Structure formats: C-alpha cells, structure tokens
Structure 1
Amino acid sequence: MNSNSAAWIDSPYADLTVRQAPVPTPGPGQLLIAVRAVAVNPLDAIIQSNGAVMYGWLRYAVILGEDVAGVVIGTGTGVDDFAVGDRVVAYAMGLEKGRDAVSESGFQEIVVVEAGLTAALPTAVSFEDGVVLPLALSTAAAGLFEEGQLALDFSRLGGAPPRDEVVVIWGGATSVGGNAIQLARAAGYRVITTASARNHDLMTRLGAEAVFDYRDPRAVDRIVAEVGGSRVAGILAVAVGSAEPSLRIARATGATKIAMASPPVSFYDQPRRRGFSLARIRLFLTLGTRTALLQVRSRSRGITPSFIWGSAIAASPVGPAIWGRYLPAALASGEHRPYPQARVAGRGLAAVQHAIDTLRDGVSAQKLVISLDEAQRGS
C-alpha cells in the first residue's frame, strides 16, 4: 500500500483529526498490518484528558490506540510464525516509552506491531470481536503472572490441573477482569469475582466459581466466607474504588499480594483543557493521598500492593507464554472467549473521537470498536 491515514492528536487535550500518515516499515521481529478494526480504551481517554501529566515522553503530534486487528501485509527480518495474508490481532505499543508513537500506534490504516504481541485470529472470529482483546488481555496477564505482581504459575496455561488456590478479582465485568478470569482458570486457579447482578451469569460462563455484587455492603464478608480455608494466591483489583475492599479481603484471608489495574480516582473527573483547574488539583491531591495511605496500611500488615503496567509482558517470559503459546490455540478452540463484547461504535477513523467521548460517559461489559473495512479506509 502506498498511502496511509491516521487519527492524530496534535497536542495535549486536542480532539483527534484524520489525515495522511507515513506508511510504516516493519523492523526486525515486526509485522506490517492493514488494520480492519480498532478498539478504544480508557488509556486513550486518559491521555487525552491529562495532557502531559502521565505520558510526558510523548512528542506531539502522535497517534493513540493499542488494540488492532487486521491482515498481515509485510514482515520484518526474523519473523517465522506469520506470513502475508494472515488474519491477526495485535497489541500496538507505540505509546510506550521508547517506542514510535506514530508508526506503532493503533488508530491508523497501516501499523507496525511486534510479532511477539500478535496472535492468529481464527476465521470464525471477526476482526471486530477479536480486537477487544490486546490491551485488556495483556494487562490481565501482567497482573496475574508478572514477578512484581501476583506472580502466579503460568507454566501450564490451558492444560494446568485444578488447584485448591483462589484468585479474587474485584471487577470481573471490566475488560481486564473478564480476561483475568479466563487466564486464571486456564492456569488452574479457582476464581471468585465481583460484578453487578446483571453480569453474574456472564462471569460464571467465563469461569468464575462464585460471583458477588460489588454494591452489596456485605460483599467483602461474603467473599471471605466463600474462600473458606483455601489459600488466596492473590487479589486483582480492577476499576476505580477496588483497592479498599481488596485490602480488606487480603487482611481477612491472609493474602499477601494485591495487583491494581486502576487508580483510586477517576481521571475522567477533570476538564479536558489546558490551564488552571481546581478539579484537576483536587483529583491529583486525592490520588496522592489515597495511594500513600494504601501503601502504609497494606505494608504495615505484610501486604504488597502494586500497580499493573500491561506492556511489561513484552519484555518478560509472560509475553510469549500468552501471545505465542496460549492465545492462538485458545481462540481456535474456544477456550478463551473474546471479552468484553464488541460494540461497533462507528465506521472509519473519523468515528474514533466520538467513541472515546462515549467511553467517558461509561460503558459496562462492552468495548467500543471502530470498523475499518476496505470501504471505510481514509474516512
């Protein structure tokens, strides 16, 4: 392909604008993908809302987007597992420190991705359904299996014998939570989770053996009772407000590790603009205070809390275990279900900004997806 188009963010806080972009060239160990679908994530909305606060290394103009699915149209040297024409789903890492926030970011028609963070997409799974996976799956895997997180055993993913060890996931209906349920079960662990009442059956289908309503004032007590005398291998805290109940569960069950996928405040609760803002000041003061208190209260009881960074799996044994050995076979067999459900929020790159705005308003047990089939390229 001789041309490319992308949804650019030209400066902090700006709306995305669609225009031409360079056609990337894959380097060693990389793939060139013609994108057929992208998904939006809270990370995209957070970067747009926070300016340079969290991702200060970005040099605008850049391209956002982490989740892509499409067709391989080129390969770099050293790539043996993929060929031109393969249908794939991939984690686009352009926003990470030291990466190329133009050629390696997802909201464009042609993107470069790492072959090690790419999986074959079965023909039975549409691009729109498959694209919900990359960032959520990688974040869940990092929280469960990385040494600095829960450090669960992933050596026999997909074929592990059942263990009498429990993983508690507070926030099972989230994108990360639903994938974490499936990964923990594939590693042989029992899973207890929380979700709103309308999502309980769905959590059970994903593999949770018990589900409790996070709104229930007695949810923590009920989870502790469900654990019984089993060992809690770790607690995964997903969604705003999950750290406090997770700490209470850890104290009651003797768990020593909490991996947190969300901050204790919502980064959406601030204006998306430059300049002085009392709301932004209050947000970051609250964030700092709550984080410090959590660390003190946890460590004084022998509990280690840690924040998850999903891209960590790219440089550890977890990445190839998940993306290379587990996911392709699990998708083909139906063992791993693309989660959450895809909700097509538009067609063409021009629809991405509206999808991010919709995400800020709240989306439950769904992921907003933009279709980029041939008819919509350049739109």
Structure 2
Amino acid sequence: MPSNRAAYQPAPKAPALEARDAPYKPADADKLVIRNHAVAINPIDWLIQTKGDIMFTHLNYPFVLGFDVAGEVVEVGRDVKRFKVGDRVVGYARGTEPKINDPAEGGFQLYTVLRPQLTSHLPDNVSYEAASVIPLGLATAAAGLFENTALALDLPSVPAKPSNGKTILIWGGSTSVGVNAIQLAAAAGYEVFTTASPKNHKYLESLGASQVFDYRSPTVVADMVKAMKGKTAAGALSIGQGAAEKLMAILDKSNGNKFVALATFPLPQKEPQSLVFFRTAVFFVSWIISYKVKGMFKGIKSSLFNAGIISNSEVGRAVFVDYLPNALAAGTFTPAPKAEVVGEGLEYIQEALNIQKKGVSASKIVVRLK
C-alpha cells in the first residue's frame, strides 16, 4: 500500500497547515485513487482556514482541504469503467461536502480519492499544472449556467453549438469561475458579455467573450445596457461582491430571461469584531431578502448556488464526463485561469494559501507535488 502524506488543517482557525503522514484509503467500488502531481488553490481554502468556526462547521479536524487536483490514476474501484491505472486525469475533490466529510477525498495530499463523474481524462499535451486550475471553477460555472435551479442554459458541446441568438451576462470574467463560464457558455451557443480590468480584455476575448467591459468604469452599467439593445438576454451570472446589484440594473433594461445566478455569497464589507457568526448571518439574510424584494418589483428572479450541487446531477456528468475530456483533446477548451506555480511539495501549500489571499488576477496559484 502506498505511503501517503497530507497538509492537514489541524483545527478550526489554526493559522498554518501541518504536512505529515496520512492514511492511504483504497478505492471503494465506485471510486478511484490518483497520485496528485499538482494542486491549485481557491479562496475557499483559506476562507475555511481563517473562518473555520463559522464556515463548514461540520468538518471533523484535523482535515485535508483542497478541491483542485491533477495526477495519475493508481487504483480503480471494480465498478469504475472509464478509467484504468496510469491514466492522466484532472478531478474535483469533494471531501468537504457535508454528506462526504472525508479527508481522504481532500486535495492537499499525495493520494486523493475521487469520484468518476467529477473526473476527466487529460491529453498528453496538457500539463498537470495547467489542468489543476480547472475543477472548482468549472464546477461552479457549470452549476450557475446549467442547473435547473440556476440559469438552466443549454449544455455545451464539442464542437461548439451554433449561435442560438441569446446573450449571457457574466460579471467577473477574469475570475476562476468567470474564465470557465465564458468557455462553457460559448460552447453552448451563447454570446458572452463580461467584465474585467482592461489588461484582461484580450485574454477573455480569446476564451470566447464577444464583448468585455471595464468593471471599474463609472458608465459600465449604461454601456452594457446600450450593448444589450436589440438582444435577448439568457440571464446573468454574478461573481464578486457588488456584482448582483449591477446585473439587476442591466437586466431591468433588457429583454429576455431576467434571472441572476449568484455565485458569491454576500458578506459584510467590514468583518464584525464581535458576535461574528450572528452578525454575518443577519447581514446575509437581510441582503437576500432585500435583493429578492427589489427583484420582485422589477420582475427579476435570482438564486444562490454552489459547485456542490453538480456532484450527483446530470450537469456534473455532462461537463466532466461528456464535455471536458473531448474539449481538451480537441483543443477547444483552454485550462484557465493561467497557472502560477509557486513551489513544489506539500510544505508549500500554506505559502500558496497566503499568496492567494493577497489577491491574483487572471491566474491561479498552483503547487507541484513530488
């Protein structure tokens, strides 16, 4: 049996991960195990670390965090037919999901247990480092775009579907979710209008965005309203604080599907210094009620969503099983955002979390694993 090591989050709000020996869990009949060669960092990783007392309170510490992994299959359960030992793959690790709650399925370790429906084959010309940036961003984008409780758009295909004449608004195009949403929506036949700082406009256009607007511009809402004249909205995907209000204003002046899928949970601009959980909860509930009421008067619906809803849905299979492997092989999907490798080894993951926390633009922090 292989010797495993992991970078553990030792306790809620513990300031540093601990790299040490970890159990190796063999593959159940319906799962597979991979040897990780690269892992990527997401904001949720350090948010759980710093706010473990109010986020993911179901976790049993010490726990192995991490959602984005890429590596080589080392073990396959007897009921798994799509994969074999030696396959190069990228996968969405779901260890933190309440119904799973298993550190063996966390990403920050040498060997991770994955679920086949959330794992994709990698062609030889896509490196593990490049691929590791995909899973959580892709899963979140897919949930917002395609789940019936969100925008319920048509699914993507290879080659891309012809234009259906509808335009999707994506606020936050250069984020990890945004760059994946742009590509998925374009592959599903939608015109994409998105926002980013000017330095990232060409990059987002290369991923399939039709028009990119400067989110800092004082006229950005008016500019997007003007661009939507004569077009049919497919709805809007809201990424980032403050995006939802702007998208409501744009959809209010547009024709088509008046629905905002909310990828970002509203949080106070300044963290409360006392009664943190209570005050955060009050802010969250009051914001949701206010947004819903405003939307009701404007005829605009909305819903919060998270990536986890695709775990056992047809959307997860459609994206990770049917679309992504074929799109990577055909070269019609670009691993995005760009991988920024900051070190090698489990010991570098805490440093990677700290770097990500300071902020990145159109890139994702990645750690190679020996």
In the superposition, the TM-score normalised over structure 1's length comes to 0.93
Match of 2:178 in 1: 177
Q: In structure 2, the residue corresponding to 1:68 is in which secondary structure?
A: strand
1:216 aligns with 2:217: yes
8 Å CA contact 2:191, 2:210 repeated in 1: yes
Match of 1:71 in 2: 72
Match of 2:260 in 1: 258
Match of 1:295 in 2: 292
Match of 1:376 in 2: none
1:96-135 alignment to 2 at 5 Å?
A: 96-135=97-136
8 Å CA contact 1:142, 1:313 repeated in 2: yes
Per-residue deviation, residues 30-72 of structure 1 (Å, max 9, x unmatched): 1110010101111111111211313121111111000000000
Q: In structure 2, the residue corresponding to 1:315 is in which secondary structure?
A: coil
Structure 2 residues not aligned, in runs of 5+ = none
Per-residue deviation, residues 201-241 of structure 1 (Å, max 9, x unmatched): 01110101101000011111111111122110110011122
Match of 2:361 in 1: 364
Match of 1:3 in 2: 3
Structure 1 residue 285: Cα displacement: 4.4
Structure 1 residue 360: Cα displacement: 1.4
Per-residue deviation, residues 170-205 of structure 1 (Å, max 9, x unmatched): 010000001000000000000000000100001110
d(CA) in 2 for partners of 1:358 and 1:177?
A: 20
Name the % identity.
43
CA RMSD, 1 decimal: 1.8
1:347 aligns with one of 344, 347, 363 = 344
8 Å CA contact 1:35, 1:110 repeated in 2: yes
1:235-246 alignment to 2 at 5 Å?
A: 235-246=236-247
Structure 1 residues not aligned, in runs of 5+ = 374-379
Q: In structure 2, the residue corresponding to 1:148 is in which secondary structure?
A: coil
d(CA) in 1 for partners of 2:86 and 2:151?
A: 38
| More divergent stretch after superposition (225-234 vs 195-204) | 225-234
Structure 1 residue 101: Cα displacement: 2.5
Structure 1 residue 158: Cα displacement: 3.7
d(CA) in 1 for partners of 2:78 and 2:40?
A: 28
The aligned amino acid for 2:347 is A
d(CA) in 2 for partners of 1:229 and 1:165?
A: 11
d(CA) in 1 for partners of 2:86 and 2:264?
A: 37
1:320 aligns with one of 285, 310, 317 = 317
Pair 1:5–1:323, CA change in 2 (3 A): same
Structure 1 residue 284: Cα displacement: 4.8
Give the count of matched residue pairs: 368
Q: In structure 1, the residue corresponding to 2:75 is in which secondary structure?
A: strand
Per-residue deviation, residues 312-333 of structure 1 (Å, max 9, x unmatched): 1121111111011110010111
Structure 1 residue 97: Cα displacement: 1.0
Structure 1 residue 260: Cα displacement: 1.2
> After the TM superposition, which parts of structure 1 deviate over 6 Å for at least 4 consecutive aligned residues?
278-281
The aligned amino acid for 2:232 is R
8 Å CA contact 2:89, 2:122 repeated in 1: yes
